[in-house]
Structure 1
């Protein structure tokens, strides 16, 4: 049913280029990726049925993983062996099926992104190249996650070599799951859950990164267009209509600014819960993974790779969040702004409007009435951008390197505590 899954298109109707992690996410994760808008009723019904069955599979895995933790609650080493898979399972069950519940909203967000925000290589080669450099960390992280998934493929190999029947994850079943008619279907479900979880981990990170960095590029483009327009008008040396022309340019820029801000708020609404869940589970997950990697590095290569993948995921997301926050982040207003009677904190966008050569336009213009209107519009532009936009986790924290470092510090504190109890 992959041919019914939504494939983004550019405004001209041609298929939009997608980075390989997002393309892989679309192919592997039928739970999270939306269908085409024109899909028939039976296709939609079948998709919802598969999502429901997938949710039941996750619940079954949740149950047997938890039973393993209960059975080994007195053994810290075994307990922490099963803890990472259980934590990531619960996290992904919340994130993946919350997205599945809002797949139509996610598709609408992607449609708007490729119609209004996406920066194409043909139109803006320099900005596009900058975005690709910024997204390099997420691409590398996707590769590491695939390596972590590959480690689980070694389990069936070792089963054959040593004549064992072990599951991919640490699980305790209420029946004899080593019987062949149980073991094979359960192992297949293990693999299915692994693909869904891994594709969700690197897929959503890359989707968020694409949305954030292309939005960031549009903000950068906005500032460039504003400065370029002011310079072109000042070169004309017209003293009568320069204020009128500049006010029209500024009005158009403000409308683009409002559209970008509205899109950013849509991104925030779409991802804020899942980001909160991701960060909430990250400290415990990093702690358990690092404990297993530290206590027995040669016997826990899979945990080392998984730890590196999770660590890189957080750093990559924090870096992207910081880039966006820097562009539309909080700065203290220059004291000169007080001449406008604005006693506020403003952001880089507000500073962009303040430093956009409006004073040179007024100095060159002889139209007093238009000068007053222009000054009022500049004041309005600064005020509208005095409340900065940033991606958050349910408004509890901003997505930035600062938030990521706090999570890493918390994970290290948990690890220190656990290591002292050995």
Structure 2
């Protein structure tokens, strides 16, 4: 019912949205002689804010056309190399001739970035991708919006997620490097454990886990405490709704993206309110640069996707309530998941000192679980000052975290000595 009410509210607000848009366009037109007056800027700013607050935010574009390599621009083309109804494995293909001109004649390490399936699109990791593209062949999991997947495609749960990670590693190629950002950490560790136990030639050469809830019992945050305090039935009753028409996935039970977004924003409501107030003031002052930065952030932040009921509820159960992986009780397709089977996959964990989503220690727990992994194949790093988002994006990520991850990957690329085909 809530999903239908949400949709009805959007369509019923269409006249208000259209009026606001027309007002904005009128007061921003160069033909309007009062455009640059104080009153004109106030009217324009108010109309623009109303337009942005009531419009729909779809899947953002990647917008990565080039990357700088050794001081030279190299063209980048995103291409889907493998897909299911649930994900598109996207490769960011760098122009090989321009790479050679930049002095990069040999194929570089292949990296699979596993993006979170937790409400936002994979484009939230745009900055992460841009950093890795400087030195790697980059692939990323671009997850689908569940409301666009027909019920005829069946279910997608936590174990399907593990299977997808394993299959995508096989597509990327033997002994690639996998980077799990936030929520995917447990699934990435599980997939790597299974592949190691099978001596799968596609098992990764290294695994980097960033701000991941490997053991959510450690340094619990507000998010962890909510999941622990509420009974499982509460999540079933209050977080799951049915996709209405006209979406292709109508009839499917989902955890809606707009519910997730409300949860995110309510945690820091005052900060978001102040950000929109500053945006309004910047428009009134004619400070276009500051206003543009605000729009860039919220165009991404307000773009959300739905999760399947079964994936969301299993994640609550497996990761945040029963802690099956760190307790050694996770079973996948009838097989126990044994991180102690990992013996030749480099492990790096990255955490943020001020992370309010995955507290310090939650990601580090992976080292204890991988008990048979030699110490010289393990690295841990805690980045001072940054919060959750800063673990994988922003200035400190680019200048302090990424160089460490790059060097870690390079060391394990050299260790396994895989010969890769040129693009």
Larger radius of gyration: 1
TM-score (norm 1): 0.25
After TM superposition, the score normalised by the length of structure 2 is: 0.25
Larger relative strand fraction: 2
